[in-house]
Structures are given as structure tokens and as C-alpha cells.
Structure 1
Amino acid sequence: MTAPKTAIKARDIMTPRVVTIRSDASVDDAVALMVERHISGLPVVDAEGKLVGMITEGDLLQRSEIGTERRRPHWLQMLFSPGRLADDYTQARGRKVNQVMTQEVVSATEDTPLETIVALMSRKGIKRVPIVMNEGPIGMVSRADVLRALAHAFATGAPAGPRTDEQILADIEAEFARSGCIPTALIDVSVTDGVVALRGAVTDDRERVAAKVAVENVPGVKAVRDHLAWVEPMSGTVIPSAEDEAAAKAEGPRAA
């Protein structure tokens, strides 16, 4: 199957020698550094080199210097606490990195699995995760690094050798069961000379796509024939697959 044999760790894909900035540096220095290095975020360190925050493009979008400072109607300001309003003011006008940076940093270690890092990115809505050792940043895993890892996986995927129809069928059935979203009880799978035929029904057309994806990822599959009908749960209407519908139109109306 396509699952990697060895889990990818942060050390395998991180960008080393990460560019950092001191917490007491000026915001304009941070902006200049980000522009010069073509990067969208900087780990912030203290005098001892320990990670204390992150400053990113998102922290610098609403600034008074360019007229993008957040302005709320007076009535809405009355609903916010003085502290919240003070935060907004500081974010828009602070001159030091430690005044505008994000202090709650999500970080990882060299041994953190890539799947954990990706889960953090998705859950926290962040684009990069600093990799730390002894509380100091030693690298960075960004979304771009994840894409490079994916590109490498595509490029190095070894073509499958000859496989029997029985082996292909066993892998398909195992993947269907593992997916948790494919209605295995409603789908019949057959394999002939590497060509897979799917027959039966789905109750959500997205299940059809998932089934085809599962089959296409099995080594040795040459083609997929979709004969799955979509049974609309509310009305019971049966809609044939696009492949079957096209075949029926090609045959034309049957003689009475």
C-alpha cells in the first residue's frame, strides 16, 4: 500500500539554521528581515537564545503606519474589555517585537512525527512550527516543507511489480475496511487482469469517490470500472454511475 514504511520525523524535512530575531528588536527590523529573506515568520528569542514567541505576517497586517489598524464602532468597543482594546492598540502601534509577537508558540522536537506536526497546523490554523532543542529553535517545519516531502514521496514511489488479481483484491478489501467511510457491505469488488470493477450501491456520491481513490492507490491496478449506483436515501431514487449512463446512451434505445 502507499503508507510509508518508516514514519517521517521533523528532522527529516525541517529547514535548518532558522533565522531568528531578538524579542527586544524593533518591529521595523523584523519587517526588513522578513522582506530581505523572503520569509513570512520569525521565531523570537530572548537574550539566552530561548524561544519566547513568533512574529508573522499575520501579526503585522493591521498597522497604523499603513492605515489598516482595526477600527471598531464606539458601541462595539463598549462590549470589549479594556484589556482587549489595549491589546488591539498595542498590536497596531507597538514598536518592539515583544509587543506585537504571538507569545503562545506551538513547537516540536526533532523526533516529533510529521503527522503530529500536520495535525497541529490544522488544529491551530498555523503555517509553521519551530523545532526546538534545549528551549532554543534549531529549525522550522512550514507548509512548504510538508509539500516538499509530499513531492519527494511522489517522485520516489517505486512502480509495482507483477501482482496477481487475488493480491490486488485482498489489498482493496483491506483498504476499504481500514477507510472507515466506504460501505463495504454494499460494494462488490472483482479484479480481472488488474482491471477492477466496482458494483453495488452508495448512499452518498462522495463514497464513490473515496472507493475509487482507495482502489487507485493499490499497486498493480491498471484501471477502475465504476458500476456503482447512487441510491438517494430520502426518495430511494437510483442514479447509475456516469460510466454506466454513458454506456447506455452509446447503445441507444432498445428495440421493443
Structure 2
Amino acid sequence: MKTLIVIPARIGSTRFPAKPLHVIAGHSLVSRVADIAARVSAMRADTDYVIATDDQAIMDHAAAIGAPALLTDPALPSGTDRALAAARAHGSGPDFILNLQGDAPFTPPGYLSALIDAAETGTADVVTPVVQLDWEALDTIREQKKREPFSGTSCIRRADGMALWFSKQIIPAIRKEDALRKQGPLSPVWRHIGLYGFRMDALERFASLPVGHYEALEGLEQLRFLENGMTIQAVAVEPGTNAMWGVDTPEDATFAEKLIAEHGDPMDAPR
């Protein structure tokens, strides 16, 4: 199975202009994400990676750091569409495309490998990672949602891992929670990690479909697949070493530097 890891890197951002080029602890944000992809590519046969951008400055920066890059149409509406454009333009003819968000510098490389393994052994149209929350983490997310109600996404999955639904609400609702807390350390809530792997035909179908009703209401692209009868495997992974996922604002970048200072730089890890 030929796999292509695509890193969408858009120059325009209302909250954080030129975000991919912002330097965090000595390295640009996009170079940090490219390092994750490069590590996975080096470990796995038939796996390549590319930065998909809409701006020449990012193309020039990619050349400077030795990362492959493609220039895509600035009018593309989403990172998923940019991933498809890159897959079509890439010479490898991939069967499977991993969309690694360009603002997620703490993504464990093992998450990408877990999705590739799931795609090689399963039949789902899409694969994506989820983490089962312990009760303390669930309490933290509940507090966070009081301040930022659309932060974080939860997933309901079948026993075999196939996703039933995703929501910006915390799902499922939990009756008799006090009794459940006494039964063990893990809650029944799965947190979705924003990393996707698509079979090429599924990605092409996604791009041809109109925005779904619930996709628009929730602001979640993956619901377009479910609304159209396509399958998503929610792959269980272990929590990362820190709870931070994406860098959306300059304040997030400052916090990322603090985490690197406290816990070490992922780019310094042995290959």
C-alpha cells in the first residue's frame, strides 16, 4: 500500500497570520510537523510525505529545510481538499493519504503508524485515532467547554472500533456516573484526535459530495462521510505525553514553547 502523508500549510489565518512560518523554540511550526512525517516515512516502506501549501514563502521555506512541498490552489476550501490536490499531483500514485494537520507539532509518530496499520488490515474508508479519557481528563474537558464550547471533539464507536458519530458535545451522556466512577479509572468518553487517513477513492468521493447537514451544524468534516454511508474506523491510541494538540493562536505557540522547555523537544528525539 503506497501511503502519502500530506501536511496542509495555509499562509492565511485570521487568528494567526503566517502561522506555519512562526518559530517555536528555534524551529518553524511547519518544520516541526514535517519532522514527524519524515520520521514515519523513514520507518515505513512505500511511505512518502509532502507539504501542501498555498503560498510561495512556505514553498521557499520547505526548500530551505529540505522538505518536499507542492503549491496548491489558494481557493481550496479545506485542508482535506488540499490533501486531495496534493495526492493527485504527487508522482507516487498513493493508495492511502494521511492528512497531518500543519499546526499539530506534538503528534506522536506512533499515531500515524497506527493508522497505516489499520488501513492495511481493515476495510474502512477512513481511519482516525481516538483516546479513551480517564475521569480526570473528562472533568478537565468539561471545564474547558464552559469557556470554549466548540473546543475538542468526542466520538461514539462500536465494539469493533467503527465510528457511529462525532460531536463537539461530550457524548455519550452518562447516567449513574457516580457508580461508573467507582468501577474503574476510564470514562466511556472517547476524545477524537484530528488526524485522518483516507483511501484515495474515499477522499475523491468526499470532495465530490456537498457539505452535509450535520457537518455544517457541528463544523466537523468527518460527518460528511457518515452522512453518506461511508465508514470510519476510530483507532484506539494511548494519550500523548502532553495534552496539547494544535497551535491555533500566538498564545498557543507561547504555551508550546513552555511545554518544550519543560518536557524536551520532540525534534531532539533519536530517529
TM bucket, shorter chain: under 0.3
Which of 1 and 2 has greater Rg? Answer: 1
TM-score normalized by structure 1?
0.20
Higher relative contact order (CA 8 A, sep 6+): 2
